[in-house]
Amino acid sequence: MTARFAAPTELDDVLAVLAADPAARPVAGGTDLVVAARQGRKPLPDSIVAIDRIAELAVADVEARGSLVLGALTSHAWLASASAVRSGWTALADAAAIVGSPATRATGTIGGNLMNASPAAETVAPLVVFEATVTLRAAGGADREVRVADLATGPGRTAAAPGELLTRVRVPPARAGSGSAYVRLEYRRAMEIAVVGAAALITLAADGPSPRIASARIALTAVAPTIVRASTAEVAIAGAAADRDACRAAGAAAAAAASPIDDVRASSDYRRAMVEVVVARTVAAAIARAGGEDVPVPASRWAVGREV
């Protein structure tokens, strides 16, 4: 049972509690926390600091330089529905749209998804391919910027120091001619956890008689202790024609280089086989969007049963 509880309305007060009480844990939506406690996987913290009333953490907008800036309290529901996200950072909308249930999406936050550090976290792979960063702040200290790719150090562990709070996420704009997508393998369409997931950001070359892939970024979900880049797949299709062969080459390269985890949800062999399929479908959706095709959010629904 939780022994101490605080619900400040100012960010400085939250940071003061975290500095004074090493056992204190910040909670926003609490969706993962409550589920873990009910299932007996992890007890509630001895000390909870509710941060859902901090207005400064709820701001989400596109800044003048074109980056998407998300306060830690930005909900999955907002990410899934905001027109700016759906058009400029579509993979992030794909991922947010399939998190949990409507109630989970309305309550769960981007900050919580990142700091929970699950290797199956839906929004992390898109943030990795967009090369997003987070801001960590502690009482009396300067802000510290950390790449999303470096934030999780293992399941449930992050690079945040004691007393640091994730306050915002900054997502740079993609280059012109880019398209992105996030696709996951799932056994059901709601309240699901990714068995394998992939995010892709594909930029097409502006010149030439037929579309070619100028650059590619691909990240994998639920195949390692953290979300990982599929660098061999990125290299395999850079400069290639933006066609079905490129999608298949990306999938094959990602699967060949992967060392998937083996757990109760799937064996490592099954995951490796599905990496090839999911990456190929994700790259196909990203290429289609980069070329102006209307691939609806979430891309996982578009990809089901699609031959690549």
Domains and CATH numbers, the chain: 4-32+57-171 (3.30.465.10), 185-293 (3.30.390.50)
Output the CA–CA distances (angstroms, integers) from residue 128 to 25, 36, 159, 166, 241, in the order listed. Answer: 25, 26, 15, 16, 24
β-sheet bridge partners, residue 144:
136
pLDDT number for residue 45: 84
Distances (CA, A) of 51 to 18, 80, 84, 268: 11, 22, 26, 38
Predicted local distance difference test score (pLDDT) of residue 161: 96
Residue 158 has pLDDT above 90, yes or no: yes
Are 115 and 157 in contact, with CB atoms under 8 Å apart? no
Give the ranges where the chain is alpha helix by DSSP (H): 11-20, 31-38, 76-81, 83-88, 90-96, 102-107, 110-115, 124-129, 148-151, 231-237, 244-257, 268-290, 299-303
Which residues are paired to 60 by β-bridges?
A: 70
Does 68 score more than 90 pLDDT? yes
Q: 37: which 2 tokens?
A: 């406690």
pLDDT tens, 95-140? 999 998 899 999 999 999 999 999 999 999 999 999 999 999 999 9
Residue-wise pLDDT tens digits, 245-256: 999 999 999 999
Q: How confident is the model at residue 298 (pLDDT cuts 50, 70, 90)?
A: very high
DSSP secondary structure letter of residue 87:
H
Average pLDDT, the chain: 93
What's the pTM value of the predicted model, to 2 decimals?
A: 0.94
